[in-house]
Chain A
Amino acid sequence: MLDKHQIAKRIARELKDGMYVNLGIGIPTLVANYIPEGIEVVLQSENGLLGIGPFPTEGAVDADLINAGKQTVTMLPGASLFSSADSFAMIRGGHIDLTILGAMEVSEEGDIANWKIPDKMVKGMGGAMDLVASAENIIVAMQHVNKEGKSKLLKRCTLPVTGVRCVKKIVTEMAVLEIIPEGGFKLLEKAPGVTVEEIRRSTEGKLIFEGEVPEMQF
């Protein structure tokens, strides 16, 4: 089983040189710590910043410079600042190459739910609905099962959805999976020490695998 840092590290391997990438709150933010050597990506924050740098040192904290998770950040050389309208024009206009975000549930059709649990919790969708409706390439970082051990990779989402038929790839503590166009979770890689049978038991939606499933490389 992977911890959240290992999930982030595995996702970082999906980055390609020159990509403009939007990282969601939570595990996706950690991806920035594992960008592979020799690869340069530009990170976008939907509150109006391209070129997010590392967290600031104590003396460099600036209240006017935060990411979408409201964390203090810095800017890299070449960074730019813009309004929320410009930021979402960038997103809806298809200029962001890769979106990485968290989820509470994903369906075998690629639907995603991550903003609301009726009568219990409402966070709001923030920028997630715009991102999932517009991005060509969406990777979800999530837990395969909930605290009670129930699958979060479902036939159909039970929670209100954030977007439909949009997720392309999922990285969990157990596996890397791809949503195939005809519906279903195609098992691409398994986490070290995890068996295909364990992944099958933890996946409520249709799991598809062929032959020997390779182990994840970091």
Chain B
Amino acid sequence: MINKVVASADAAIAGIEDGAVLMLGGFGLCGIPENCIAALLRKGVKNLTCISNNAGVDDYGIGLMLQKGQVKKMIASYVGENKEFERQLLSGELEVELLPQGTLAERIRAGGAGIPAFFTPAGVGTEVAEGKEVRAFHGKEYLMESWLKADYAIVKAWKGDTAGNLIFRGTARNFSPMMATAAKITIAEVEELVPAGTLDPNEIHTPGIYVKRIFQGSGYEKRIEQRTISKN
């Protein structure tokens, strides 16, 4: 069995140069690849295109890369709760493509699945439709959207094995399984790395074929954006 294990986050992101197109898993701060983001900050690569549902918050996640001016373009669906992102967007410093969340997910899925384009109802009659083909099927209008691919996909999973198989936990799964399929090189950081053969094949979310590099992360903060508690 091919061993995909690398020693650290810094080793995992080797080869990511200025101008790279990255996909980063996570919904808000849930399921973000914390260790690799820290390594990208250390490495200081610039002019990145980042494809991720959100852009973190001001002082965490991709928000930190925005603060350091490492991101040239962001492809996302929701940027609320991030003042620096909104400021860079409104001032024009940052190139931003905002997409309906389902369109973002499906474009990534299509990229990994070899489907160059598809039609979706989301965005018909809105700004999102500008410049895109609209076609009617069964009396309803749909927009053509194209696949998305990246140089690197960086995802975080709960468990992974040396063969690159991944299991996600809770809603930390979100965009990561599709992203893992849609890049030339997929990097996975996991909370627990085990030898191949340890995980139950029935439970695997992302088959190892998609993952090129894997390592066990450390010091996960798993910051919560909205800690909402019930009293009883």
Give 9 pairs: A residue, B residue, CB < 8 Å, sorted on A.
A63-B223, A64-B30, A64-B31, A66-B226, A81-B171, A123-B80, A129-B100, A130-B120, A161-B125
B79 — nearest CB in chain A belongs to which residue?
A124
B230 touches A48 (CB 8 A): no
How far is it, in angstroms, between the C-alpha of A53 and the C-alpha of B165 when the chains are bound?
Answer: 30
Q: Which residues of B contact A (CB under 8 A)?
A: 27-31, 53, 76-81, 86, 89-90, 98-106, 108-109, 120-128, 158, 169-178, 205, 222-232
A72 touches B100 (CB 8 A): no
Q: Which of A49-81 contact B (CB under 8 A)?
A: 49, 54-58, 61-73, 81
* A124 contact set on B, CB distance < 8 A: 76-80, 98
* A62 contact set on B, CB distance < 8 A: 170
How far is it, in angstroms, between the C-alpha of A48 and the C-alpha of B205 when the chains are bound?
Answer: 14
Q: Could you tell me how many residues of chain A have their Cβ less than 8 Å away from some Cβ of chain B?
A: 54
Cβ of A85 within 8 Å of any chain B Cβ, yes or no, is yes
* B178 contact set on A, CB distance < 8 A: 83-85
Interface locus among A87-95, A138-146, A204-212: A87-95
Give the residue of A85, A87, A123, A162 whose beta carbon is less than 8 angstroms from that of B78.
A123
Q: Name the prevailing secondary structure of the B interface residues.
A: loop
Q: Which of A174-217 contact B (CB under 8 A)?
A: none
Cβ of A28 within 8 Å of any chain B Cβ, yes or no, is no
How far is it, in angstroms, between the C-alpha of A182 and the C-alpha of B229 when the chains are bound?
Answer: 45
* B28 contact set on A, CB distance < 8 A: 66, 70
Q: Name the prevailing secondary structure of the A interface residues.
A: loop
Given A61-B227, A64-B31, A70-B28, A125 and B171 contact (CB-CB distance below 8 Å)? no
Give the residue of B31, B86, B106, B128 whose beta carbon is less than 8 angstroms from that of A88.
B106
B175 to chain A, nearest CB (A): 5
A119 touches B27 (CB 8 A): no
A83 touches B175 (CB 8 A): yes
A34 to chain B, nearest CB (A): 15
The 8 A-B pairs of least Cβ separation, nearest first, read A88-B102, A130-B102, A64-B170, A164-B125, A63-B222, A129-B100, A133-B121, A123-B80
B113 to chain A, nearest CB (A): 10
Apart from A65-B170, A65-B171, A70-B225: 12 A-B pairs, beta carbons within 8 A: A47-B171, A55-B230, A57-B229, A63-B224, A72-B227, A82-B173, A83-B176, A125-B100, A125-B101, A133-B100, A133-B124, A163-B125
B231 — nearest CB in chain A belongs to which residue?
A57
* B27 contact set on A, CB distance < 8 A: 47-48, 66, 68, 70, 84
* B226 contact set on A, CB distance < 8 A: 66, 69-72
B171 touches A122 (CB 8 A): no
* B123 contact set on A, CB distance < 8 A: 125, 129, 133
* A6 contact set on B, CB distance < 8 A: none
B221 — nearest CB in chain A belongs to which residue?
A63
How far is it, in angstroms, between the C-alpha of A171 and the C-alpha of B13 when the chains are bound?
Answer: 50
Q: Which of B89, B120, B177, B228 is packed against the most chain A CB atoms within 10 Å?
A: B228
How far is it, in angstroms, between the C-alpha of A48 and the C-alpha of B105 when the chains are bound?
Answer: 12
